[in-house]
Amino acid sequence: MAMEVDTEVDDFVTKSQTFVSWLGKSGVTISDKIQLADLRSKGAGRGVVAQADIVEDELLFTVPRTSILSPEISSLPNDITSGLDDPWLALILTMVYEHQQGGGSKWQPYLDILPEEFDTLMFWDEDVLQFLKGSAVLSKIGKESADESFTTHLLPIIRANAIAFKDIDVSDSELLALCHRMASTIMAYAFDLPSQDGPTSEQEDGWEVDSNASTAATPKGMIPLADLLNANADLNNAKLYHTPDAVEMRSIKPIAAGDEVLNDYGALPRADLLRRYGYLTDEYAKYDVVEVAEDLIFLPASKTLDLSTTALQERLDYLEEHDVLDTAYDIAHCDPKDLSTSPFPEELTTALNTLALSAQDFRTLKTKSKLTRPDPSEKTCELLREMLERRGGLYLHSMTHLDKKEIEDIKKKHDYLNGPFKRRLMAFEVLCGEKEVLAEAQGWVLKRSKQWLEAGYNKRQAEEKAEGERKGKKGRK
Ligand SMILES: C[S@@+](CC[C@H](N)C(=O)[O-])C[C@H]1O[C@@H](n2cnc3c(N)ncnc32)[C@H](O)[C@@H]1O
């Protein structure tokens, strides 16, 4: 596998070439139909590109298990990591250790191509983060808790094992910064590793890592080359499979020569993509959501409905018993003209429908131990409308949003990929996406409310007609 070089040789290219020859020496076998590519011109760093047409289920490369950078394979003595039962912390410590070994680390050419700087939210200054005001992602960055966790669990181990960590001669804050760098690398690059117990009987040939099965306790490792695949929403065309001794990257659909080989990072809203990976593409816009916290929902709804605190609590307890309550709910994209696809999760509409019931109807529901249907009632539509209004008010710039063309023009004008406004523009896109979700949900509620009004009108008309006919019959007698 040669590195595709179409620019003058620079440090980036030299490191890529050294990495590719290291892969060969490390037992990584690579199809000659793919190549590591320099994708800096499109703001995507390194990536893997097809050099020839690839059919479905073709083996693209194999990485032996011994080349995976993990606490298990690293030469970091086991007794140093044994006290850490969190796989993330164990891998961060292992990465710091291997980084400290310099040329003595068997992964040095690999470590050399990993990023030192990130566009992930963890590294944004407070004043730039403010451009995301209103998005729930701001509460998920977790810088303080990471600082505390590294300071409590990792720094003492590194200090206590000075020889193993090559007498690391830096201040605590520099060491903390190194831990953050490794943590962010892991967040964007690491894979879940299957347990060494092997695949279950019906999965003999190798098993795929099910990202949905990932938990905080799942062992993690850095898989050279596999982690150089970029991703673009559902355009993924390759997938990683584990066998007892190696991992294999295989195509999952035909890939034409010249196309990028893409992995799957998940159906992430752009706010989360920015938080974990530090980049955006339009293809992820369809996954954007607006998260609404419970405190914007139930208490304000009870006020609109004139429910007493006791009545509200009784209904929330009932909903809790039936597993309907959550601390926050995601509103998703919808077609405001099509009422068959609701932007609201069923749990939310069920909960609001329950709050909106009369005391008598709630008692009946409770006696039957049932839940209401998730289709929002007329009253619930009003509650949803008010909730959306409150949620929209949390954003930086009220509810207005720009259309796609205006965003494209701003991106062009400000050199989106390299300019100083890159992060602000990304924040801007995230907020525009979330506001679009809100605007669609508002349109949907409006249409549903109109439908209720029409249904009420038609019902009244029918009742009046029936009444008229009844009176007419009486008069004729
Ligand atoms: C697993 S790494 C992929 C390899 C990476 N491009 C590199 O040069 O090291 C994930 C990172 O690649 C970048 N990336 C992945 N997919 C991308 C895309 N479609 N567009 C731009 N950047 C992308 C992001 O910086 C992300 O954090």
Rg (CA), the chain: 28
Last residue of one domain, picked from the residues 234, 265, 296: 265
Domain count for the chain: 2
Residue 196, pLDDT score:
60
Q: What is the mean pLDDT of the chain?
A: 91
- CB 51 near ligand 1, within 6 Å: no
Indicate if 106 and 233 belong to the same structural domain: yes
CATH assignment at residue 341? 3.90.1420.10
Q: Report yes or no on 474 lying in a domain.
A: no
pLDDT in tens, 435-474: 999 999 999 999 999 999 998 888 888 888 888 888 887 7
Q: Are residues 192 and 307 in the same domain?
A: no
Q: How far apart are CA 472 and CA 477, in angstroms?
A: 9
Q: What percent of the chain has pLDDT over 90?
A: 80
3-state secondary structure of 436: helix
Residue 272 is assigned to a structural domain of this protein? no
144: domain CATH number is 3.90.1410.10
Domain assignment present for 477: no
Q: Is residue 80 part of a domain?
A: yes
pTM of the model: 0.90
Residues 220 and 318 in one domain: no
pLDDT per residue as tens digits for the range 115-151: 999 999 999 999 999 999 999 999 999 999 999 999 9
402 and 255 inside one domain: no
Whether residue 294 sits in one domain with residue 174: no
Least confident among 107-111, 301-305, 453-457: 453-457
Residue among 11, 186, 225, 230 to mutate when testing ligand 1 (max atoms within 8 A of CB) = 230
Tell me the CA–centroid distance for residue 2 and ligand 1, in Å: 20
Per-residue confidence (pLDDT) for residue 201, from 0 to 100: 35
**Nearest Cα residue to atom 27 of ligand 1:** 277
Same domain, 240 and 303: no
Tell me whether residue 148 is in a domain. yes
| Residue-wise pLDDT tens digits, 28-72 | 999 999 999 999 999 999 999 999 999 999 999 999 999 999 999
The first and second tokens of residue 79, run together, are: 């007794």
CA of 147 to the centre of ligand 1 (A): 25
**Residue having the nearest C-alpha atom to atom 16 of ligand 1:** 230
Which atom of ligand 1 lies nearest, measured to the CA of 115?
A: 9
Measured in Å, residue 228 CA sits from the centre of ligand 1 at 7
- The protein residue with its alpha carbon nearest to ligand 1, atom 10, reads 188
Please compute the mean of the pLDDT values over residues 413-421 and round it to a whole number: 74
66 and 180 in a single domain? The answer is yes
Distance 365 CA to ligand 1 centre (A): 51
Are residues 293 and 406 part of one domain? yes
Distance between Cα 48 and ligand 1 center (Å): 11
Q: Is residue 270 part of a domain?
A: no
Question: Amino acid letter at 315?
Answer: R
Query: Which ligand 1 atom is at minimum distance from the Cα of 43?
Result: 21
Contact status, residue 266 vs residue 187, Cβ threshold 8 Å: no
Please check whether residues 231 and 354 belong to one and the same domain.
Answer: no
Q: Give the C-alpha separation, 268 to 188, whole Å.
A: 13
What's the 45 CA to ligand 1 centre distance in angstroms? 6
Residues 154 and 297 in one domain: no
Say if 276 falls within a structural domain.
no
Which atom belonging to ligand 1 lies closest to the Cα atom of 227? Answer: 1
The reply to whether 334 falls in a domain is yes
Query: For residue 35, what are its two tokens?
Result: 């190549």
Predicted ipTM beyond 0.90: yes
- Cα separation, 323 vs 339, in Å, equals 26
* CA 46 to ligand 1 center in whole angstroms: 7
Where does a domain end: 265, 296, 331? 265
Containing domain of residue 148, as a range?
A: 1-265
- The minimum-distance atom of ligand 1 relative to the CA of 113 is 9
CB 248, CB 206: distance < 8 Å: yes
Q: What is the pLDDT of residue 210?
A: 43
Q: Please indicate, yes or no, whether residues 295 and 202 belong to a single structural domain of this protein.
A: no
Do residues 240 and 321 both lie within one domain? Answer: no
Final residue of a structural domain among 265, 300, 327: 265
